[in-house]
Amino acid sequence: MSGWWVVVDPRTPEERDASQDRMGPLVASWEASVFNMRFLDHLVKEGRAEQHSFNGYPNRYTVPAGDFVPFIIDGPPVEDWGPNKGQNWNVTIHRQRLVALPADHMLTVDVWDQT
């Protein structure tokens, strides 16, 4: 599969990197087809998210919950074109954890290249 594995962590990048438990605190994770992460690129272009790394191992972003949660709360967005049109897999959304986050809480979003 060509695409991405996405993990959304409520901790800072530094806290996530230092932790022995990298998966436990996650508020969301999913696998996405190649074009399904464009919404995150748009948030960066709009100044609502910041991209910290660009190499796919992972691409790392920080974004306020108020700007990110609406995009994923009912399931991650899908693009309407591409070879895997409209597909996300293995979606886990911890809805209660997400809605409990203050709008200004910074999330760490790691997007791993699965090619």
How far, CA to CA in Å, does 21 sit from each of 1, 15, 51? Answer: 27, 10, 23
pTM flag (> 0.85): yes
Structure tokens at 105: 């809480």
Residue 51: CA count within 13 A, CB half-sphere: 17
Tens of pLDDT along the chain (115 residues)?
A: 578 999 999 999 999 999 999 888 999 999 998 888 889 999 999 999 999 999 879 999 999 999 999 999 999 998 876 665 668 999 999 999 999 999 999 999 999 999 8
Which residues sit opposite 15 in a β-bridge?
Answer: none
